[in-house]
Amino acid sequence: MLRPDNQRGSTPYRAADAAVPVSPVITLDGVAKRFQSTAALSNISVTIPPGQFVAIIGRSGAGKTTLLHCLSHTTAVTEGSVRFGACDLVALQGESLRQHRARVGMIYQQFNLVKRLRVLDNVLGGRLPHLGGAAWWLALGRYFPAYDRDIALRCLDHVGLLSRAWQRTDTLSGGEQQRVAIAKVLAQEPQVILADEPVASLDLMNGALVMDTLRRIASETGLTVIATLHHVEYARRYADRVLARLS
């Protein structure tokens, strides 16, 4: 089951950038996920209002990552429903499913960056879902319109790494690389950010910097941030709400 462990309440929306959309209300109703005979999730019901920073804590194997996959709909639920606003994810197929996944920003423990590229080029990768036709093909050769480059630079500024824009990514520290990954997700202009153990591979100082960045995103842009964490102290310090996976 999933139970509320702590809740400070919603963070009010303050538009730091009008290009960033407000998150929808996220509703999970009786969600269950089974892999053959193994129950990864069972009877999860929770409502997450826009702009909250939600931390999900629990032991390894408790289904935290599976829950994020259900929210991005890379994994379909076995029972129950997941709704983003009025949209039931169960009904999504084809183009509507692709559009939903483009609206969900994913941050991973291992950064998912091309380390030989410049920092700015990595962040510009977040703009690909917004491009089509010739612009998409040109972007594969790292030729992006000025509008998209401006968005990428503003996202780097938002995470405090504008001065690193022209450096190779592999010259940055682990904490800086994770903040580049966050900037890339912001450039995607998602409606929700999901972070799967975003500080697990970082030391305490860099982990705190990444958590500060995620906290600020939720506070200043109104984006909902849902993060799985092993560190209970991080969850209690940074999250508006803590959900504990007990089984």
Instruction: Burial-class residue 111 by CB neighbours within 10 Å (0-12, 13-18, 19+).
Output: buried
pLDDT of residue 247: 56
Length of the chain measured in residues:
247
In whole angstroms, give the CA distance from residue 204 to residue 63: 25
Q: What is the pLDDT of residues 122-145, one digit of tens each?
A: 999 888 877 777 766 676 777 788
Q: What is the pLDDT of residues 109-123, one digit of tens each?
A: 888 899 999 999 999
Domains of the chain: 2-245 (3.40.50.300)
pLDDT of residue 164: 95
pTM (two decimals): 0.84
Q: What is the pLDDT of residues 178-218, one digit of tens each?
A: 999 999 999 999 999 999 999 988 998 999 999 999 999 88
Half-sphere exposure for 30 (CA within 13 Å, toward CB): 4
Q: What is the pLDDT of residues 145-178, one digit of tens each?
A: 888 899 999 999 999 999 999 999 999 999 999 9
What are residue 244's phi and psi, to 5 degrees? -105, 125
pLDDT of residue 38: 84
Helices 204-221 and 174-187, interaxial angle, to 10°? 20
Half-sphere exposure for 225 (CA within 13 Å, toward CB): 31
Q: What does the buried/exposed string (b/e) look like for 199-219 if buried means 16 or more CB atoms within 10 Å of the residue's CB?
A: bebbeeebbbbbbebbbbbbb
